[in-house]
Structure 1
Amino acid sequence: MSGRTVTEAWVRRFHPSPDHAWRLACFAHAGGAASAFHQLSARLGPAAEALCLQYPGRHDRHAEPFLTEVRLMADQAHEALRAWRGPDERPLALFGHSMGAIVAFEVALRMEAEGLPAAHLFVSGRRAPSTHRDERVHLRDDNGLVKEILALGGTEPEVLADASVRKLILPVVRNDYTAIETYRCPSVALLDRTPVTALVGESDPKATLDEVGAWADHTADDFGLRVFGGGHFYLADRAAEVATAVTEALSVGRAAPVEALSAGRAVL
């Protein structure tokens, strides 16, 4: 495919505007799609324009084969974002939630390798890549997979009660859980010129504060940590506060937030 075709396949702009000072590429969680960031895109206001990444195998890309490894996702996403990078383009930052945080991290590594580092990396709801849990959700049967989804609170029970919906959703979730649960961080995975801000829900069962704080070991630049009320999908209820945290960090050019949010707290 041509570069432009790849870009069109991957990037969704729900609120396009030539007046935004920044662009923020957003990477969704396992089983998620570009639409997961529609609310955040709207909240970013005049500060940043969201470029929401659409993974193959879902929504309008449902006919395409899944990407079965995180690094394959990062390779293609990195290629798709080329059209939005360069000396004449607005600064490009990255935001990833859960699995998307690791995909965004891998994209940030590729951007630095090419000499065009991301303006900022925001990692949400995900422990640092150097931490490890022996998770095997992708090996469960369908009922076990449904139990995991419901436990995280990202999907209403009545949705998964529909057999036809489960038939559409579960293969996507299983593929993505396979990709993230088999991912292993390279020992040299360190960002030299990319500030990192980690965001997490205080009751997230998938990421403790210590595990999230370990993201500091993956950047030689500034690091900041923001903790919000809520669980793994805190972002659904805290989009306005997250948008404020993102725009603050972008405006000051460093990871550590200037002050705590009313609905979240800063850990510096």
Structure 2
Amino acid sequence: MSSQRAQSLTSAARWLRRPRPGRQPAVRLLCLPHAGGSTSLYRAWPGLLPSAIEPVLVCPPGREDRLDDPLPQDMDGLVAGLAEAAAGLLDRPWAVFGHSMGATVGHELVLRLLKDGHRAPEHFFVSAREAPQYHRGGTVHLMDENALADELVRLGGTPPELLEMPEVRQLVLPVVRGDYRLIETYQASPAGPVPCPVTALIGAQDDELTAEEAAGWERWTTGAFQLLAFPGGHFYLSDRPDPVVDVVRRRLLSGA
């Protein structure tokens, strides 16, 4: 095995977790987490998806066993590393599901992989994220530790008692700050639409975005588009993953 090939395999193993690897799945589904998030967002999905769909969970730098890996300084750096890691799995049909910041990263990732000559994805799922034309920056990454922890609690998805533990704050908050800095300073000017159907999913009680902002993703596909709302807030898919996974399954296996 060449050193270049070995390096590529190592990169893929660091970025991508395959809890249920399949040699010939009908489709591989890349699952991207939110700002500060990890593969735990999708912990229930391997047990809910049928064997024809292989979940591939993205683990960005700075979390889980990548605590010592430097955080990307901008969107291009993040997407470049992820694209290199994912390229080896695109021998099968593939799709992307991105939640919140992960949806924006997913859009840029699809465009990067297409530019590199890979096949188009079967579907792109954007969850709890406004379309690029509605992108707004922010100053969350400039907050002090207490305010940053309060913001995580407000959004949900992070148990408040965890953030009361100094050792957890020391691990979590720098990653959250880095991700927020990346997405809040991101200049939303994607190269174009994706050549596949797009499904936008939102929590009906999510006060982070409006249905109009999510519906704006229709501009960024040359295929079919649908907007779906589920009960819950920004982390609606954590509270009730089953109906979300069912939508993914139907879109990928039956085209419904």
Contact 2:137–2:185 (CA<8 Å) still a contact in 1?
no
Out of 121, 125, 129, the position equivalent to 1:122 is: 125
CA distance in 1, matches of 2:9, 2:118: 21
Contact 1:74–1:106 (CA<8 Å) still a contact in 2?
yes
Please give the TM-score of this superposition, normalised by the length of structure 1. 0.89
**What do residues 106-156 of structure 1 show as CA deviations (whole Å, max 9, x unaligned)?**
011112222511111111111111213342111111111011101011111
Are positions 1:8 and 2:8 aligned together?
no
Offset at 1:44? 1.0
Are positions 1:163 and 2:166 aligned together?
yes
Out of 23, 26, 30, the position equivalent to 1:21 is: 26
Query: Which residue pairs with 1:237 in the alignment?
Result: 239
Cα 1:109–1:19 change in 2 (3 A) is closer
Counterparts of residues 102-141 of structure 1 (less than 5 Å): 102-113=104-115, 114-141=117-144
Offset at 1:187? 5.9
Task: Please provide the CA RMSD for this pair.
Answer: 1.5
Query: Which residue pairs with 1:40 in the alignment?
Result: 45
Q: 2:151 is aligned with what amino acid?
A: E
Cα 1:137–1:60 change in 2 (3 A) is same
Query: Which residue pairs with 1:265 in the alignment?
Result: none
Q: 1:118 is aligned with what amino acid?
A: P
Counterparts of residues 244-263 of structure 1 (less than 5 Å): 244-253=246-255, 258=256
Offset at 1:224? 1.2
Offset at 1:189? 2.5
CA distance in 1, matches of 2:192, 2:24: 34
Query: Which residue pairs with 1:223 in the alignment?
Result: 225
Query: Which residue pairs with 1:181 in the alignment?
Result: 184
The runs of 5 or more residues in structure 2 that have no matched partner are none
More helix by share: 2
SS in 2 for 1:52: strand
SS in 1 for 2:135: coil
Please give the TM-score of this superposition, normalised by the length of structure 2. 0.93
CA distance in 1, matches of 2:120, 2:47: 25
The runs of 5 or more residues in structure 1 that have no matched partner are 259-268
Offset at 1:70? 2.1
Query: Which residue pairs with 1:264 in the alignment?
Result: none
Out of 96, 99, 102, the position equivalent to 1:100 is: 102
CA distance in 1, matches of 2:62, 2:136: 27
> Alignment length, in residue pairs?
250
Question: In percent, how many aligned pairs have the same letter?
Answer: 41
Q: 1:10 is aligned with what amino acid?
A: W
Are positions 1:153 and 2:134 aligned together?
no
Contact 2:137–2:186 (CA<8 Å) still a contact in 1?
no
